[in-house]
Structure 1
Amino acid sequence: MTALAAPARVRVLTGADGDPRWSRPAMWTVLAAAFVLYAWALDGNANEYYAAAVLSGTQSWKAFFFGAIDAGSFITVDKPPLALWVMGLSARIFGHSTYSMLLPQVLVGVAAVGVVYSAVRRSFGQARQGHVAALVAAVVMTLTPITVAINRDNNPDTVLVLLLVLAAWFCLESLRTGRARTLLLAALFVGLGFNTKMLQAYLVVPAFGVAYLVCARHRAVRRVGHLLAAGVVLAVSSAWWMVVVDLWPAASRPYVGGSTDNTVRDLVIGYNGLGRVFGQGGGGLRLAGVSFGGEAGAGRLFNDVMAGQISWLLPFCVVALAFAVLLRVRGLPFDGAAWLVWGGWLVVHYVVFSFSSGTFHPYYTTAMAPAVAALTGMGVTVMWQAYRRSRGWAWVLPTAVAVTGGWSFAVLRRTPEWLPWLAWVVLGATTAAVALLVLARARTAGRVTAAALAATLVAGLAGPAAYAVSPLGSRVNGTNPTAGPSTGRTGGPGGAFPDGLPRGEPRGGSMGGGVADATVKYLVANQGEATWLAAVSSARQASSIILSTGRPVIAMGGFTGSDPAMTVPRLRELLSSGRLRYVLTGGGPGPGRGDTEVTTWVTANCTAVDGHTGLYDCAA
């Protein structure tokens, strides 16, 4: 047994028989680099909103299951809780801290790189060029700037990406092997993605469906039958948590944050569904007109805010896809299924992200990174083969390099004060790469070819690599994480994770809606037997107080302060039962501010606490 086990352990490090000797060590090197990029200096990173929910989940299994922001389970976060469960289990095992919360995110991000590598390599069967394509894809995935930023944060997108690339892996395996059960596994992972970030997970479904209809080995009727079965799996794996929550008696569970009627169904259709695409007209809430990613339109992903996050290799992907269509991808495994999966993934995301008029954050585009990475790796390989074998198509690779390097130069010149020399290095590398590719094709010289490839790497990856390492030197904005130099980006409610989870003196902090330290200390000293420390207007205030004190706080209006979660009858019931004593008015829109019904009742029936602006004592 020992003699047989040793070679197996070696193969994990060196690869299978027949693999290029450099392939597996190169893969491990990329994964190690990804870990360093994502894990370096995490102190102070994270979104307070989700961090408070993770902490609350360590204090209450009820809050854990529902994804409540507070351990008293008054209101949930505005997303399903699967990503919170991943971080929450780690925090329960190792204690709640920045690292126990974020290291799972780091490992999930590294795993996504590895799955993309595997999916791309297996798409080429036993061909050696698959190892090159896979390595390029892994490097691109690792160095995508917005992916580096989000993998250093606690937003749910990191978990979503891993689930979707796992779904793509199984979809491609189903097409490669003809086994329907792997298609069902793909549907299962998309459903898990739904329980991470709802309808965004479904953006990959059209690509998977088309690829299976066109490329599956079975007869047309069986293909349709398999897709219908996958649809059933998708529906069940997506809806189970929603059904449980909506059937749970509303009086004994948290209010569903982000909804207008306290149901997950409304959250799916409105705030996290059509509201994201159509804005207010779609039934969802648009955050005070804030445009995190710029105006909607075909050029959104190329504007000053978005270009440095995801667009670097989009021109290369466009050329690669066009080339694949022209050649009809002849000679590639299963009739180009991988091109349909990854190409469809990229096209659907581009259309939805570009034209959505609701709330849009730059970090949503990390979901495009796997497709960009895979298409780049596959495109490099296919264009290189054409460059070496066909005079008629030899111009495609130099053209793709020229367009990509030119766009990289343009993006870098938008911030000339930031690494001003880099743009010119990229321009020089692009010029050299194109010239050397032309020369190498004419002379077939090994050294010239090597120089051309090196220049090509600099032209395509220097820009995103520089952006990718920038988050390592500063704290990530937890609400709107981005990479690279500032380009006038706006933030939003919430902010970076305060330096310090519950340990020592309670602190309100400016990131929590400006609640004074003295007020927080007063509440801690006078909480008594109440379940909640206080009721405040929004999660912006509540999350900071929860993190600094470790005690439950009611966010009456949810994330934005506008959820109709608190009513006067509900408030009176909480006060009369002794579970709540203090209400802090002001600090955000929605309940607890202005002349709302709740605030009017509080000011008329409770006693203002001297020296603490907006704080009312409602003890009977």
Structure 2
Amino acid sequence: MTTTTLPRTAVAPDAQRAPGPTRPVWQRPALAALLLLTAVLYLWRLGDSGTANGFYAAAVQAGTQSWKALLFGSLDAGNVITVDKPPASLWVMALSGRVFGFNSWSLLVPQALEGVAAVALLYATVKRHFGAVAGLLAGAALALTPVAVLMFRFDNPDALLVLLLVAGAYCTTRAVEKASARWLALAAAALGFAFLTKMLQGLLVLPGFALAYLVAAPTTIGRRFVHLLTAGATLVVSAGWFVALVALWPAGSRPYIGGSSDNSLLELALGYNGLGRILGGAGNRGGGGGGGGMQNTGFGGATGITRLFGDSMGTEISWLLPAALIALVAGLWFTRRAPRTDVTRAALIVWGGWLLVSGVVFSYMSGTIHPYYTVALAPAIGALVAIGGRELWRARAATSARLVLAAMVFATAAWDFTLLARDASWHPWLRWTVLVVGGAAAVAFAAGAAFTRRLAVVVALTALLASFSATSAWALATAAQPHAGSIPSSGPATTGGFGFGGGGFGGMGGMGGGSTELTTLLKSTTTKWAAATTGDQTAAELELSTGKSVIAIGGWDGSDPAPTLSWFKAAVARGEIAYYVSGGRGGGMGGGNSEIATWVAANFTAETAGNTTVYKLTK
């Protein structure tokens, strides 16, 4: 394959060099330092967040108590209903809990290690064609993205999702090099498991991967199409085996698929977690930040092209986004006349396709979206900044390359100044320092045709310092805070966040787990389920505080059609449910299964446990 340095009029002598040049002596120590510092950042005081998002933590706990619960991602070990996501991320955390015991560290350490692995894989992917320096810059950019620090220290599915997406990009890069059907199939397998982690969000990178192979793989057009079709079949198998398992398993002996309307994993993927997320409306509970009323920062803000830069998502992901977009546009322009198999353009298609497709979807989703979803953009932003910066630096003898570099540096400094100004009380000196230093570096780049080598290195290091200072500071502030709840956010505590520690919205707390009397009561039970209550959030809270199984009537927001009244009556008759806990709440706008609540109130006597009303369902 061929490679291009930007712009093509200033190709460096090693521009046609094959992947894998002689390794510099500093390369391995530098990589080791990057991964060590990333691990420290992601593991430092990790236990302070406790069980983080109790919704997923309860499912992990259930998975340590029941293999069937682990397989299906059940919220309770009795297997009444699952969480509203596929279970791949839960498999990793639950297996960790089975080995080390269920606790905060066994829950969250796998997430942090997935983050370190994602940084290492991104480094390896970018380094293959653009050298160790570019690989290190890409890895550092991912590691220091605030939303990445947030999610690799949390128990949501996004940590595993990002790792699988980067693995898919690595395999695609290897596939494009030599038109390898095997590597392309491995990329498809990675995306299949990304689907089993977060459904259709795991496939948003697919257009960029497929286009890069179709454009740049060094073989005939016919073979390229055949390879893509084979990879498509691999994707279907790697994602579809679990969908088929759920469909073929007798519904009466497995949990209800939470979030679905017909107990189907495929309907969950296409409905609530698919078109419902994009289009909103009745098919998607909770709503997003579209033209409706829920335009708060926890739900992404108003839809539109500026959403990624807005109050909700800006400080999560956009610190290096302007530079990435400039690098993408400039890179595609400078490589417009390159040979079809040019690796620089192929890389721009992989990472640019990833960024543009995912970014546009996130910007215009009218259904439920949260700011932390943007962690999926972090690897693409880091790769584009590193690739564009490296290629432009090598071509710095050309005025056009220096001007684009200057634009990347100044845009980053100016935008970081704007983001930091949104919390004017937090280290105000930092934003002015970033603006002044970044502006000076940009001017030096633009005017530096006659740089000596030593002075050029100084200017480059100054530009990197200015570009990474703001995101690094925000990332460190994120790691310094505990995070809990269902909508965590990055940044220092002074930003307000959405819950304790500047980090959660809709978090656990309040009734149930906060009542010592109720916890003691449920711990003393010996039935299959200690209790039943409305909504996953309350049920999860009770499970975590007692270690017992609790039925979440109605699923996440209380509106799932499970369990049915007839099933509930039969379970009570068998003596399998000890208590009904009233006042439960879901994560959304649902009202729960009122039939069950009405039947319980009409047939059993109310008691109190602390400040909570309960009904004893056993004799």
Q: CA deviation at 1:511?
A: 4.9
The residue number in structure 1 matching 2:423 is 415
Q: CA deviation at 1:436?
A: 2.5
Query: Aligned pair in 2 of structure 1 residues 256, 509: CA closer, same or farther (>3 Å)?
Result: closer
| One-letter code aligned to 2:484 | N
Which sits farther off after the overlay, 350-359 or 561-570? 561-570
Which secondary structure state, in structure 2, belongs to the residue aligned with residue 581 of structure 1?
A: strand
The residue number in structure 1 matching 2:210 is 209
**1:320 is the counterpart of 2:327:** yes
The residue number in structure 2 matching 1:381 is 390
How does 1:441-520 map onto structure 2 within 5 Å?
Answer: 441=449, 443-485=450-492, 486-487=494-495, 489-490=497-498, 510-511=509-510, 516-520=515-519
- Aligned equivalents of 2:580 and 2:267: distance in 1? 28
The residue number in structure 2 matching 1:579 is 576
- Aligned equivalents of 2:265 and 2:439: distance in 1? 54
- Aligned equivalents of 1:472 and 1:187: distance in 2? 33
How does 1:294-443 map onto structure 2 within 5 Å?
Answer: 294-328=301-335, 330=338, 333-334=342-343, 336-388=345-397, 390-441=398-449, 443=450
The residue number in structure 1 matching 2:83 is 77
Please tell me whether the aligned partners of residues 123 and 333 of structure 1 are also in contact (alpha carbons under 8 angstroms): no
| One-letter code aligned to 1:304 | D
- Aligned equivalents of 1:177 and 1:237: distance in 2? 24
- Aligned equivalents of 1:299 and 1:339: distance in 2? 22
| One-letter code aligned to 2:22 | G
Query: Aligned pair in 2 of structure 1 residues 394, 298: CA closer, same or farther (>3 Å)?
Result: same
Q: CA deviation at 1:215?
A: 0.9
Query: Aligned pair in 2 of structure 1 residues 592, 38: CA closer, same or farther (>3 Å)?
Result: closer
Deviations 1:275-300 (A, max 9, x none): 11111254555389474221211111
The residue number in structure 2 matching 1:181 is 182
- Aligned equivalents of 2:267 and 2:606: distance in 1? 37
Please tell me whether the aligned partners of residues 194 and 200 of structure 1 are also in contact (alpha carbons under 8 angstroms): yes
- Aligned equivalents of 1:609 and 1:378: distance in 2? 65
Please tell me whether the aligned partners of residues 514 and 587 of structure 1 are also in contact (alpha carbons under 8 angstroms): no
Please tell me whether the aligned partners of residues 191 and 234 of structure 1 are also in contact (alpha carbons under 8 angstroms): yes
The residue number in structure 2 matching 1:54 is 60
Q: CA deviation at 1:204?
A: 0.7
The residue number in structure 2 matching 1:609 is 607
Query: Aligned pair in 2 of structure 1 residues 524, 591: CA closer, same or farther (>3 Å)?
Result: farther
How does 1:121-200 map onto structure 2 within 5 Å?
Answer: 121-124=127-130, 130-200=131-201
Which secondary structure state, in structure 2, belongs to the residue aligned with residue 106 of structure 1?
A: helix
- Aligned equivalents of 2:386 and 2:373: distance in 1? 22
- Aligned equivalents of 1:211 and 1:415: distance in 2? 40
Which secondary structure state, in structure 1, belongs to the residue aligned with residue 92 of structure 2?
A: helix
The residue number in structure 1 matching 2:565 is 568
Q: CA deviation at 1:497?
A: 12
The residue number in structure 2 matching 1:39 is 43
Which secondary structure state, in structure 2, belongs to the residue aligned with residue 534 of structure 1?
A: strand
Query: Aligned pair in 2 of structure 1 residues 366, 62: CA closer, same or farther (>3 Å)?
Result: same
Deviations 1:300-354 (A, max 9, x none): 1111121111001111111111111211264894362111000100000110011
Which secondary structure state, in structure 1, belongs to the residue aligned with residue 34 of structure 2?
A: helix
- Aligned equivalents of 1:595 and 1:276: distance in 2? 24
Which secondary structure state, in structure 2, belongs to the residue aligned with residue 324 of structure 1?
A: helix
**1:538 is the counterpart of 2:535:** yes
| One-letter code aligned to 2:436 | G
Deviations 1:566-618 (A, max 9, x none): 22101101101111131112232599968822211111112212456431122
Q: CA deviation at 1:202?
A: 0.6
| One-letter code aligned to 1:55 | Q
Which sits farther off after the overlay, 580-589 or 243-252? 580-589
Query: Aligned pair in 2 of structure 1 residues 592, 541: CA closer, same or farther (>3 Å)?
Result: same
| One-letter code aligned to 2:443 | A
| One-letter code aligned to 1:214 | V
- Aligned equivalents of 2:505 and 2:96: distance in 1? 18
- Aligned equivalents of 2:359 and 2:505: distance in 1? 30
Query: Aligned pair in 2 of structure 1 residues 451, 285: CA closer, same or farther (>3 Å)?
Result: same
Please tell me whether the aligned partners of residues 179 and 224 of structure 2 are also in contact (alpha carbons under 8 angstroms): no
Q: CA deviation at 1:103?
A: 1.1
Q: CA deviation at 1:22?
A: 1.8
The residue number in structure 2 matching 1:6 is none
TM-score (norm 2): 0.90
Please tell me whether the aligned partners of residues 440 and 448 of structure 1 are also in contact (alpha carbons under 8 angstroms): no
Which sits farther off after the overlay, 144-153 or 293-302? 293-302
Query: Aligned pair in 2 of structure 1 residues 283, 304: CA closer, same or farther (>3 Å)?
Result: closer
- Aligned equivalents of 1:608 and 1:481: distance in 2? 36
Which secondary structure state, in structure 1, belongs to the residue aligned with residue 280 of structure 2?
A: helix
The residue number in structure 1 matching 2:27 is 23
Q: CA deviation at 1:524?
A: 2.5
Q: CA deviation at 1:514?
A: 6.7
The residue number in structure 2 matching 1:89 is 95
Please tell me whether the aligned partners of residues 301 and 312 of structure 2 are also in contact (alpha carbons under 8 angstroms): yes
Query: Aligned pair in 2 of structure 1 residues 614, 594: CA closer, same or farther (>3 Å)?
Result: farther
Q: CA deviation at 1:224?
A: 1.1
- Aligned equivalents of 1:84 and 1:191: distance in 2? 16
Deviations 1:528-561 (A, max 9, x none): 4x10000011111111111111111111121222
- Aligned equivalents of 1:592 and 1:210: distance in 2? 42
Query: Aligned pair in 2 of structure 1 residues 218, 537: CA closer, same or farther (>3 Å)?
Result: same
| One-letter code aligned to 1:25 | P
**1:226 is the counterpart of 2:223:** no
- Aligned equivalents of 2:595 and 2:353: distance in 1? 49
Query: Aligned pair in 2 of structure 1 residues 277, 199: CA closer, same or farther (>3 Å)?
Result: same
- Aligned equivalents of 2:330 and 2:508: distance in 1? 54
The residue number in structure 2 matching 1:253 is 254
**1:559 is the counterpart of 2:566:** no
- Number of positions where the alignment pairs a residue of Structure 1 with one of Structure 2: 586
| One-letter code aligned to 1:21 | V
Query: Aligned pair in 2 of structure 1 residues 592, 175: CA closer, same or farther (>3 Å)?
Result: closer
Which secondary structure state, in structure 2, belongs to the residue aligned with residue 614 of structure 1?
A: strand
Deviations 1:465-516 (A, max 9, x none): 0111112222013422222135455469xx8699xxxxxxxxx972566762
- Between the aligned residues of both structures, percent identity stands at 43
Deviations 1:385-435 (A, max 9, x none): 2223x1344311112211111111111111110111100110111122123
Please tell me whether the aligned partners of residues 145 and 483 of structure 1 are also in contact (alpha carbons under 8 angstroms): yes
| One-letter code aligned to 1:343 | G
